[in-house]
Structure 1
Amino acid sequence: MTRVCVVGSVNVDQFFRVTALPHAGETVLGSAVATEPGGKGGNQAVAAARAGADVQFVGAIGTDPAGARLRAHLSTNGVGLDGLQELTVASGSAVILVDDHGENMIVVAPGANGHLTLSSAAARAVIADCEVLLVQLEVPIATAVAAAREARSVGATVIVNASPVSTDPGLGDLADVTDVVIVNEAEEPHWTWPTRHFVVTRGARGAGYRGPDGDVDVPSPEVEAIDTTGAGDVFAGVLASAWATGHDRALRRACAAGALATLVSGAGDCAPVAEAIDDVLTQY
């Protein structure tokens, strides 16, 4: 199994189902309210673990009941928590609106995620032991840079999911120690640094790759999406879990997993297991 370390955010997500997403100044009625574990880092760690990787998570939670719930969710899904920090602030949270077409709008309150550092020796140790490091931009950029440098120092591959879009001046430093960047089509114009391996997700149209071996387009299996929330996180986690097997195979597995994720409501528990991904890959 590939040893993957995910450094990132973990939130409690509150979902509202709406007929149509609101415009500025508009109030809409919601239904089917649900509260679930989420956060880009936590989602990606669970996705990588379910896909078969040996995963450690470096992140921060609060001392509140939400933090206890997030810890239990990660542990139950086989994610190692040696690098998880408990801080005396509120855990991260998000409000997510999902419409009848599966599209979404998301607001995130970082909470403990905004205070994540690598001051913990345990956190640095799990990073130093990984083969693939996966980070996102929902934690301080300085922390992401420090993690990437630590991973690079031991020869690990550094994958950055450059989401959400950030204008932090430290992004240039992060780019200098990044091997693979993952963005969606809306985020692509905002990543202006040269990167050896560049992956763009295109939703139902699959994903594209640019790198030393040329350009590759990988289709996505056709599904009737229920909820696209978390599909990009599942893609990133599965890509990290399979990257060592070659970028073409990794992209195909990630596209299959991302499609399967849209068949499940919510983000924190939508990642498929390895066997389900294998089944889809035999059909497209």
Structure 2
Amino acid sequence: MRIVFMGTPDFAVPTLAALHDAAHEIVAVYTQPPRPAGRGKKLQPSPVQKEAEIRHLEVRSPTSLKSAEEQERFAALEADLAVVAAYGLILPQAILDAPRHGCLNVHASLLPRWRGAAPVQRAILAGDPQTGITLMQMEAGLDTGPMLATARVQVDGKTAGELTAELAEVGAQLMVGTLTELGALHAIAQDDEHATYAKKIDKAEARIDWSQEAEQVERQVRAFAPAPGAFFEYEGERYRILAAEIADGSGTPGEVLDDALTIACGTGALRPHTIQRAGKPAMETAALLRGKAIPAGTMLA
């Protein structure tokens, strides 16, 4: 099958690799342009671009698909299908209509739950026991198209990073398997009444509100690990908690309860396992405390 692949982050890489390994003809790979990254702010290609170049695939990085010229270039590929995985650009109707079988999206939730930009983080924050992958025929609405296939994954205390990596692999295999029987599948319309929206993560959401229950703070830690990282401030410095557990204890919300940095929440307490100070590598809490004491009785912001 002649496929245009459209994706940008690490999440999209397994699907590109699986399609290419399955001997589909990848006629072009669309991805976001290189962005400044790292301390030197040098332009860095996206993970998908790196994978495409390793596989000697044509890479295209337009900043928009709205122009007639870009739409004509896309249509000239005469693709059977476009596969989209976290691409990052809105697809105009002319792009959606160009491939013979339309555009098929790999979405990291069980639609219609968590349509939108941050489905993995929102599922963790909401305490969903399960999430998954939905393969959806794309239309003009945001993640509203009819569904071709789904696969379920247990959340099981995973961080957003861990869950995203697992979903990426599940999505890749589901896509390859679905394409083998594409003509025999019947798409199922989504039930809009059960739709929820996974809005983009605002970095301000990562600041920990210690008045919440410990269970919710622990979810916040997992939802924002590895980035942007749930954080608190102490002596004007930001500390990102990357792993933690719910612990016994009570006190004023934000109060350090012991020498292991157990922190009181609105109900219960949280004990961080892994912390990262601003500009420093992540480390175990015990190692951090050896270099920077945060004594019991301290109130954290």
Normalising by structure 2, we get a TM-score of: 0.38
Bigger helix share: 1
The structure with higher relative contact order (CA 8 Å, sep 6+) is: 1
TM-score when normalising by structure 1: 0.39
